[in-house]
Structure 1
Amino acid sequence: MDTLIFAKMLFALYAVVILLGGFMAVLARDLVRAMVGLVLTMFGVAGLYLVMNAPFIALMQLLIYIGAVVVLIFFAIMLTRAPAGAEERQSRSARQTVLALLGGIAPAVMLALICIKVPQVSIGSPAEVGIQQLGRGLMQDYILAFELISVVLLVAMAGAVVLAWERRKAR
């Protein structure tokens, strides 16, 4: 099989996985199921990085987003969850569903039209960057961004613990 056809088939597969995960995350009524949709979407994005021959970025997608961010979100959901039986089921009207779909589809259609009508200038193949060179660049030039991300994650987790602690004290 031609590698270009195989790459297009893999792209289509991962695009479907991303769309299914996205719809699952948006349409799920339970937060845990929505998070599973988010995980599925992130796995699809990691697969797209593999198709683009960027295994290091795919691994970072798996480790950072699925391994850290999703686990943090999961803990936040579990710590701040309301007691069993306290949930109120809210039903969506047909009008709300249609408006939500239109609100999601409208930007996608606008972006697609722009991409079709305005051709992009091709820049050729990007330069190969080794993992050591990439690591040096990230740990020297962008170290502040990595430190700020870790602080944001720490504050989010601490906030979830404080919220859970306050709810338990209020009972």
Structure 2
Amino acid sequence: MIRATRLIRADALGAGEIVDRVVLDHGDRHRRRVAMRGVGGLAFLLDLPEASVLEDGDALALEDGRLVWVEAAPERLLEIRAEDARALKRLIWHIGNRHIPAEIGDEAVFIVHDHVLAEMVRGLGGSAEPVERPFRPEGGAYAGAAAGHGHHRHDHDHHGGHHHDHD
């Protein structure tokens, strides 16, 4: 099976023959080594040196130089809005306090659809409307410096008396 051994970021993508594409949701875009099949049927082994977040518009370089395009799949999300910038910042704080991955835009925040969080947002005066679109959450403060993405591990107390780890 041919291997994809290199990730090429969208902003560094030059010329190359794109032979297929993979359409992946947010959860499936954090990978290092996995067998994949493109939409056009090309089977290959993703075999990167380290786990990476595959972003919409990136490409995977196959051993023979051909490329496989990465596309973010539409997902069921909540589009969160508020009456003004201050109110939206307050909602972002509450979402962040729950360690929820979020995509932050100028006028809206997107999170994975969750009816409990939708009610929390509405209870705080915001709107939370279901939408279907690709999810591109923030990479986080401890994300990989080169790509601006990644995951981190931390331990802390949530002031609620419980202590736990996050991966």
- Alignment TM-score > 0.5, same fold: no
Of Structure 1 and Structure 2, the greater helix share is in 1
Normalised TM-score (structure 2): 0.19
Of Structure 1 and Structure 2, the greater strand share is in 2
Computing the radius of gyration from Cα coordinates, the structure with the larger value is 1
